[in-house]
Structure 1
Amino acid sequence: MLLDILNNRDPEKVITETEYNYVRLSANENPLGPSKKVRNAMIAAFDKGCRYPYEETEALAELIARKEGVSRAHIVICVGSSEGLNATGLTYGVNGGEIITADPVYDFLMTYAERFGAFINKVPLAKNMRHDLAEMKRRITSNTSLVFVCNPNNPTGDLIPKEELLDFFTSVSEKTIVFSDEAYCDYITEPDYPSMINLVKEGKNVIVSKSFSKVYALAGLRMGYLVARPDIAARIRKNIMARPNMMAIAAIKASYEDEEFYAKSLASNMECKAYVYKILEELNLYYIPSHTNFIFFNSGLDIRELRVQMRNKGIAIGRPFLPHINWCRISMGNMEDMVKFGEALKQVIKNR
């Protein structure tokens, strides 16, 4: 039954019993965690598994608020930042609201909003694979309820220059709500690069999403949050449908204290990216320098075919991001994973 379901989901490849042994580099996950401290905190929280997590959720929200330098009223706790994206999409897209976004981009918010009648105004990336901020701003009308920016962007890994970013958010927030998806912000190495939470503190029409899925390696625990002006946060909070569990809350609290794992996670990501850059340069494949835990590169092959060939070698890579059909998104695993990826890619490119 399970194999039938998997086979029906992906018509490009027949799934076999050995599929569970593949190297998973397709979902921008961090395979290093949860850390030992986080695991111990989760185990210690088992005794609370019989209790509803209302008080603990509030305590976590207070902790996050202190970390971000805002009040509790600014924080919306989400079961994964994707739920925050969905709730925002519903809030500002229902009954025909217009949402302007780059394309391609992480589209959870837009896809969910579309189900409730939103009009999604997609602006293709510029030739340099960056957000076309000028065109996005040009398309704003009185019907625009929200402008969505993913920075660093998924799938490209590109980072908007900070001066352009600040100018865009400052000016556009005078016209409508601007959303900043900062799921990958921990990987940014540019000095003094700003979070748009600074504009939230100034009372601007700005919403910021954060995630524990990436550098903290807690994707399976589904925890994230939004930061927004209290009136905006209250409006979105009404559309939140899930609540975190005791073990996830304990994990998040412990992750904040585990500075050693945080540093290890960033160092491993840098090491793996440097290795993949070297492989891509050897193969003369163009790539975009990444500010995330993945790399977007031009493989020279139709990604649909490349996915099949790499799967046959035990490597799962990212899905197609149209219209960039020859571009591949590869997540950073551990170094052993990346060596396997490099050897498989060399074979595929050599035989193309």
Structure 2
Amino acid sequence: MDQKIDRRNLLKSGLMTLGGLVAAPHLSMGAFSNMPLNLDPENRIFRSPMVREYFLDEKVAPKIVAKLNANENPYGPPMSARKAVAESVEGGNRYAWKELTDLMAKIAKKEGVTPDHIMMGPGSSDLLEKVALVLFANGGNVVSADPTYMSLINVAKSTGATWKAIPCKEDWSHDLKAMEAAIDKDTKLVYVCNPNNPVGSITAGKDLLDFCSRVSEKVPVFVDEAYLELAVGANTESMVSLLTKKKNVIVARTFSKIMGMAGLRVGYIAALPSTLDQIQKITRGGMGIAYTSIAAANASLDDANFQTSTRKLNHEAKLYLYDNLDKMGYKYIPSYTNFVIFPVGVSGKELLTKMSAKGVGVRAFEILGKPWCRVSIGTMDEMKMFVGALGQLS
């Protein structure tokens, strides 16, 4: 990967904004969803110094049959969670404080920490944003990779923080050495998404563990592990173990991916109790989770068979995709998630137009000046539909 990039020119590229966001509303959800997205002069969403994203006006876009644009688990929620939701509906007139406390205790046991290390939220993105609101209330800067998941960074910037974007290495893993070197007296947080979204790459577990252990002595390190449980064959591990050594790390996990509960909205962060106290002085996390969702999360934690099945089916469908991308000559980034990204020979707008005309929803990015397609891993039938549509792309 050619990492030579004129960031100054990119950042001075005369960005425009799209007020109201009639087009592609799913691209701007979050704490600041009422704010306009930045658009560059070519009407692409400005994601980062390295990344732009194309979108179609959803008012005129064809109906999507294979929805492969949001990294959702096509097999969930598990039957155990569905049954728990049905059985818990009658309790929906009550606040679920006890049930939430019980869920936190179960999660804490799973993670090997005490319950005062756990904060719940309606999905992990909500918690990323809450952390950003609290930590960057008085400015500062955040250090992260580029490309990466932008939820925390966007909120930090909206509150007045600056972003130090460190290009990924040639294999698309985090450049931990450069990230550490970028830390200065104004750095309030280092953010690491591993496996990384939107590229699907992995940063080796031992390297990241050493980095987090060392750097957290200077500044908090937020490690987003949303896709960790889907990382088949990866050299990685959770950073939660560092909390038992009193390291100042924050680790996010979600029920949206491996558990198939994206629409039920449950996630959590594990952090030092002192860190959570700082956050919860400003905002509460678990208040936003529905009674029924808590019941579903509690049931799904015990459903090891569903998690194993999801991991297996996701991997099989990904291998099928790899095989067909190889045959068609596409050079993809090996993924440890439930999506794959690869460069294409048409513009992002043309990609979205032609794929959606075939009933297939994908995401279209421009990275370092080249168009890329990111496709979520769906069922095998959905992947066959995608491969068929891609084969007709010209």
TM-score, with structure 2 as normaliser:
0.83
Residue 197 (structure 1) aligns with: 240
Is the 1:303–1:325 contact (alpha carbons within 8 Å) kept by the matching residues of 2?
no
Alignment of 1:133-282 (within 5 A): 133-190=176-233, 193-238=236-281, 239-240=283-284, 242-282=287-327
* Matched letter for residue 240 of structure 1: R
Higher helix content, 1 or 2: 1
Q: For residue 295 of structure 1, give the secondary structure of its aligned residue in structure 2.
A: strand
Q: 1:78 aligns with which of 108, 111, 121?
A: 121
How far off is 1:309 after superposition?
1.4
How far off is 1:144 after superposition?
0.6
Could you tell me how far apart the structure 2 residues matched to 1:236 and 1:99 are? 17
* Matched letter for residue 284 of structure 2: I
Cα deviation, 1:106-155, whole Å, max 9, x if unaligned, reads 11001111121111111122232221211111111111110000000001
Could you tell me how far apart the structure 2 residues matched to 1:192 and 1:316 are? 31
Alignment of 1:24-43 (within 5 A): 24-43=67-86
Could you tell me how far apart the structure 1 residues matched to 2:306 and 2:224 are? 23
* Matched letter for residue 33 of structure 1: G
Residue 109 (structure 1) aligns with: 152
Distance 1:18 1:208, change over 3 A: closer
Could you tell me how far apart the structure 1 residues matched to 2:274 and 2:262 are? 29
Q: Does 1:296 align with 2:341?
A: yes
Identity value in percent = 38
Is the 2:62–2:357 contact (alpha carbons within 8 Å) kept by the matching residues of 1?
no
Cα deviation, 1:194-224, whole Å, max 9, x if unaligned, reads 2100111110011100000001100001100
Distance 1:113 1:6, change over 3 A: closer
Is the 2:364–2:372 contact (alpha carbons within 8 Å) kept by the matching residues of 1?
no
* Structure 1 unaligned spans of 5+: none
Q: Does 1:312 align with 2:312?
A: no
Q: 1:334 aligns with which of 373, 376, 379?
A: 379
* Structure 2 unaligned spans of 5+: 1-19, 26-42, 44-54
Distance 1:188 1:9, change over 3 A: closer
Residue 50 (structure 2) aligns with: none
Is the 1:93–1:116 contact (alpha carbons within 8 Å) kept by the matching residues of 2?
yes
| CA-based RMSD | 2.0
Could you tell me how far apart the structure 2 residues matched to 1:71 and 1:14 are? 47
Could you tell me how far apart the structure 2 residues matched to 1:311 and 1:132 are? 35
Distance 1:309 1:53, change over 3 A: same
Residue 287 (structure 1) aligns with: 332
Is the 1:6–1:15 contact (alpha carbons within 8 Å) kept by the matching residues of 2?
no
TM-score, with structure 1 as normaliser:
0.93
Could you tell me how far apart the structure 2 residues matched to 1:176 and 1:167 are? 14
Q: For residue 296 of structure 1, give the secondary structure of its aligned residue in structure 2.
A: strand
Q: For residue 101 of structure 1, give the secondary structure of its aligned residue in structure 2.
A: strand
Could you tell me how far apart the structure 2 residues matched to 1:265 and 1:189 are? 11
